[in-house]
Amino acid sequence: MYATYVIWSKHMTKFFHSTEEALGLALQSVLWVVLFGVGMRGIVTQVEGGDYLTFILPGIIALSALAGSVGGGMMLLDERLRGITREYLVSPIPRLSILLGNAASTSTKALLQALLMLVIGMLMGVRLTGNPLGWLVALLLVALFTLGFSGLALAVASVSRSIMGYHGMIFLLNLPVLFASNALYPLDVLPPWMRTLVLFNPTTYLIDAVRSLAFGAQPALVLANSVAILFVFATIGMWLALSAFHRSIRS
């Protein structure tokens, strides 16, 4: 675990060292909320009795967490292709900590982004629930969700031979995650076949839970189930990453 912390702190040091990355991430958050929120507000005023920005904010947070995971995978791929992972591999640390350190730093960045987005959202009139515990659990779920997708991205990054190959594979994953979910539209407006599809997407559970925990919306799914599913998703994601990583270093 200590090694995980060391690798996490290395990534965070690099993150704050690199003004472009930190600033870019912050600006991205602002732009997403402002442009997407304002733009959509023009055509959709109300969803399920609430403001559309409130409705879409959890989706934007999930999307940026997803983008963050892709970036985290990119970081591992870069370290792999440049041989930097070998420094870890000859040192007396568990292999898992290399991946967990990476995923934890991705989650941290995603949480910072989520917080920033919430603040901007509030400045634009989004109302949070009065329950800070709910916010906290919502953020925890964002972290779990990021761990899960980081795991998938890291698994792909472990076996990719090039940056192009990685992006090709990731793109396949990325697109359905956003559109086959409840990020942009409520569950009950979907046709049954799509509803079934959407229920296979962990993003749906995150968004539904965050909507109810942080924004006080009526949950469409059982909250406890959503939490459990996100837990399982994070575990499976990291497990996939570890087995792919093991396979890549064993050759």
Partner 1 sequence: MATAAIEANGLVKRYGDVTAVAGIDLTVAAHSIYALVGPNGAGKTTTLNMLTTLTPPTAGRVRVAGYDVQRQARHVRRCIGVTFQDIVLDRDLTGRQVLDIHGKLYRMSRQERKRRIAELVELVQLEEALDRRVKTYSGGMKRRLELARGLLSNPQVLFLDEPTQGLDPQNRVGIWNYMRNLNREHGLTLLLTTHYMEEAEMLAHTVGIIDQGLLVVEGKPADLVATLGANVIRVNGQGDRRHFIQQLGILPFVERVQFDEQDSLVQVYVDNGNRRLVEIVQAASGNGFRVEEIAVAQPGLSDVFLRYTGHALRD
Residues in contact with partner 1 by the rule CB under 8 A: 2-3, 6, 9-10, 13-14, 17-18, 82-84, 86-93, 249-251
Minimum distance, C-beta of residue 115 to partner 1, in the bound complex (Å): 25
Spatial distance between the Cα atoms of 63 and 44, rounded to a whole number of angstroms: 20
Task: Report the residue number, 84 or 232, with the smaller CB distance to partner 1.
Answer: 84
Minimum distance, C-beta of residue 164 to partner 1, in the bound complex (Å): 21
- Concatenating the DSSP letter of every residue in 102-121 gives HHHHHHHHHHHHHHHHHHHH
Minimum distance, C-beta of residue 92 to partner 1, in the bound complex (Å): 4
Minimum distance, C-beta of residue 93 to partner 1, in the bound complex (Å): 6
CA distances from 73 to 13, 76, 79, 199 (A): 18, 5, 10, 25
Task: Report the residue number, 15 or 185, with the smaller CB distance to partner 1.
Answer: 15
Minimum distance, C-beta of residue 81 to partner 1, in the bound complex (Å): 11
End-to-end C-alpha distance for the chain, whole angstroms: 26
Q: What angle do CA 156, 204, 227 make, to 5 degrees?
A: 90
Question: b/e map of 122-148 (b: 16 or more CB within 10 Å)?
Answer: eebebebeeeeebbebbbebbbbbbbb
